Amino acid sequence: MPPAKKRTRSYDSVKIRAAVLAQFGHVRDAVLALPAEALDGPTRLGAWTVRDLAAHLAWMVDSVPQLLAAPEPAKQELALLDWPFATSAAAERIDEHTRGLDSADLAGLYGRTAEAYEQVPAAAADTRLLPVSLGAMTLADFLVTRTVELVVHTDDLNAATGLEIPYDRQALAACTRLLADALAAKAPGGAVEVRVPPFAVVQCVEGPRHTRGTPPNVVETDPLTWVRLATGRAAWATELDAARVRASGERADLAGLLPLMG
């Protein structure tokens, strides 16, 4: 796991909490409107069906009240920028747990999940530690990871069903920024400027640091393309050829650094 640099970006906890609920609401509306046969359709996530994916999304949100109800760990073990790199180690456990979820009544599952999340007290401290399986995290950091889970898997649902589930702007922004910061942590430096307008700009890769004027090495793309690249849903060469990524400069090839999480 690459060592995370000291966290420099802050997130508005109130907005992040609302964004998680808003994005889950978009997913809930879309999933519950699907015909039964569509729920048994395939996804790009291996053997997972649409129903499996829908249940997994509910679990990702329900984990917030569940972990808050558990005893608080003694010390923080996982920083926010470490989280993207730690997820691959839990892939098998996540798959097993998802397959074991009761997804027969998605309407009931989604209703209970939304109700439990809405009852999370606003007074719960951002610094409250949660016993996440990957290592104890603060509530504030864990909520930011929920935006990544929701945005990434909303995109998976759209790809599987042909739906156009919308993205809450704050959720998409937080997801984009965390994954951009993770790139900067994985490849620290100032030789390449990565732009994901309107949400993120980071510098990365060892080499001469740019200080003024037009940077010699620039990568620019849109938020969803960046999310797909960072999570292995899209390939660098494919997105470059399709002009969804624009890269200029001899160092502006990020193929060897992606994906950041799988």
Q: Grade residue 216 by pLDDT with cuts at 50, 70 and 90.
A: confident
170 pLDDT exceeds 80? yes
| C-beta of residue 24 within 8 angstroms of C-beta of residue 14 | no
| C-beta of residue 44 within 8 angstroms of C-beta of residue 137 | no
Q: Which residues are CB-neighbours of 237 under 8 A, at least 6 positions away?
A: 255
Per-residue pLDDT, 6? 46
Q: Grade residue 212 by pLDDT with cuts at 50, 70 and 90.
A: low
Q: Grade residue 248 by pLDDT with cuts at 50, 70 and 90.
A: very high
Per-residue pLDDT, 1? 43
8 pLDDT exceeds 70? no
149 pLDDT exceeds 60? yes
Average pLDDT over all residues of the chain = 94
Q: Would you state the structure tokens that stand for residue 194, as one six-digit string?
A: 């990565």
202 pLDDT exceeds 60? yes
Per-residue pLDDT, 3? 43
CATH topology of domain 13-167: Four Helix Bundle (Hemerythrin (Met), subunit A) (1.20.120)
Return the H-helix or E-strand segment holding 95: helix 91-99
Tokens 């074991």 belong to 100
- pLDDT per residue as tens digits for the range 17-58: 999 999 999 999 999 999 999 999 999 999 999 999 999 999
Q: For the whole model, what pTM was predicted?
A: 0.94
Q: How many residues does the chain have?
A: 262
Side chain identity, residue 251: R
210 pLDDT exceeds 70? no
- Domain residues of the chain, as ranges? 13-167, 173-257
Q: Would you state the structure tokens that stand for residue 193, as one six-digit string?
A: 């400027």
Domain 173-257 has CATH 3.30.1050.40: yes
Give 123: exposed, middle or buried? Use CB within 10 Å, 0-12, 13-18, 19+: exposed
Task: Quote the CA–CA distance of 144 and 71 in Å, as a whole number.
Answer: 21
213 pLDDT exceeds 80? no
Task: Quote the CA–CA distance of 164 and 81 in Å, as a whole number.
Answer: 30
Side chain identity, residue 170: Q
